[in-house]
Amino acid sequence: MKFKTIQSKVLAALVVCLVLGTGCVIELMNYFTTENSKALSVQVVASSQKLFAILEAREVSKMTAVSDTLLTNPQIPDAFAARDRARLLALTAPLYPKLKAEGITNWMFHTSNPGMAVFLRLHNPAKFGDQLNRFIDKQVVSSNQPVTGNELAKAGFALRIIRPVSDAKGATVGYLEFGEELGQFIHVMKAQTGNEYALLLNKKFVNRQFWADSSAMLKRRDTWNDNNSSVVADNTTSNDSILQFDGDLAAVPAEGQSLGAFKSGGAVFVRGIFPIHDAAGNSVGAMFVVRDISAEYASIRKTQNFLLVLTFVSLSVGILSLLFLLDRFVFRRLRHIILCATRLVGGDFDTSIKIDAEDEVGKLEQLFEQFRQVFVNILKQFTELEVTK
C-alpha cells in the first residue's frame, strides 16, 4: 500500500506508535510479573529457611531438656555402666512411646569403647552391637561434650543430639542419643505456612538398593529415576510435577535458590530450594518449597489487563485527538488552499482564503491569498489591455 498523502503517512505512523506502545507495555508488565515472582520466590525460600532453623533449634532444645531430665534418674546411668541391657530397657522402654509422640523417633545408647557400638536401640531393641562410624560419633568422643547435627543414615535423615553419660564418679560410661526425622519438619512447616514442602536427598549419599527395598516395604512408588541427582524422601503434596529439580544439590547456595514461577494444572506456583547440611558440613539434602500464588497471580493479571486496556484506550484517544487537531488546524486548511488554487486555475477568481490564525498554516494562507490577489489583478489588467486594443 502506498501512502500518497501526508495525512495517510501520519496516520500510519501513529498506528505503528500505538502498536509499539501497547507491545512495550505488555512486555514491561510481563517483566514486572516475572520479577515479582522471583522476589516472592526468594521471600518464600528465606522465610522457609528461617522457619526450618527455628524448628531445628527448638527440637535440639527439647531433646537436650529431655536428656537432662532422663539422666537425673541415677538408675539409668547405673544400669548403663553395668552394661545391664535388660534393666536399662526396663527403665526406659515405658518412656519411649511418650517421646515418640513428641517427635523423638530415635533413641540409642552407645558404649564408650573406641568402636562406640550401639548398646541399646529403644526404637528397635532387638538390634544392637553394630558400629555406626558417623561424624558425630567421632565428635562426641573427641570433645566429650554434647554434639548436635543432621545425620543421613540408611534409616533416614534425622536431627540428632548425642551426649556423654557419666557414672556417679563422673567417668564417661557411654553416650545417649536422641534423633528426630527431618521429614516430620515439613508437615509442621506446611501447617504453619500453607506452603508445600519436600525433603530431597543427594543420591551420592543414598544407597540405591536400600531405597528400592524401603519403597517396596512402604508400598510406595520407587522415585529414584524421577530426578537425575536427588530423590524425594518425604513431601507434603501428591502433585509430583511441582517437585521436579534436576540441579545438583551440592551447588545450591547457602542462602537458598529461587526457581521462579511454574504452572501446573491451571495453578501457578513459585518454587525455591535451600540446602541442608549434615554435621560434617556436607550438602547431603535440601528443602524444596512450593507456594501456590494462583490467587495473587490472577489478581496481578487482572490489574495488568485493566492497565493494558487503559493504556490502549489512552493511546487511542490521544492519537484520535492528535488526528483531529491535525485535521482541524492543518489538513482541512491545506485542503481549502488546494480547493482555492484549483478554482483559480479553473477561472474562479472570486473564491478567497479566509485567514483564521497566525500560525504556520496561517502564514501560508496569507501568502497564497496575496498571490491570488496579485494574480487576479494582473489577469484583470491583461484583460483590460486586450479590450482597449
- Residue ranges and CATH numbers for the domains of the chain are 45-53+184-292 (no CATH), 71-181 (3.30.450.20), 300-388 (no CATH)
What is the predicted pLDDT for the residue at 56? 94
What is the predicted pLDDT for the residue at 314? 85
Which contacts qualify for 336-342: CB closer than 8 Å, 24 or more apart?
A: 337/364, 337/365, 337/368, 340/368, 340/372, 341/368
Count of residues in the chain: 389
What is the predicted pLDDT for the residue at 2? 56
State the pLDDT confidence band at 154, using cuts at 50, 70 and 90.
Answer: low
Residues 31, 32, 33, CA angle at the centre, nearest 5°?
A: 90
pLDDT tens for each residue of 191-220:
999 999 999 988 888 888 888 887 787 677
Per the CB < 8 A criterion, the answer to whether 101 and 194 are in contact is: no
User: Which residue, among 283, 285, 260, 278, has the nearest Cα to 270 in the 3D structure?
Assistant: 260
pLDDT tens for each residue of 73-111:
999 999 999 999 999 999 999 999 999 999 999 999 999
* d(C-alpha 119, C-alpha 344), whole Å: 120
How large is the average pLDDT for residues 116-137? 92
State the pLDDT confidence band at 3, using cuts at 50, 70 and 90.
Answer: low
pLDDT tens for each residue of 134-153:
899 999 999 999 999 998 87
- Global pTM value: 0.76
* d(C-alpha 204, C-alpha 196), whole Å: 25
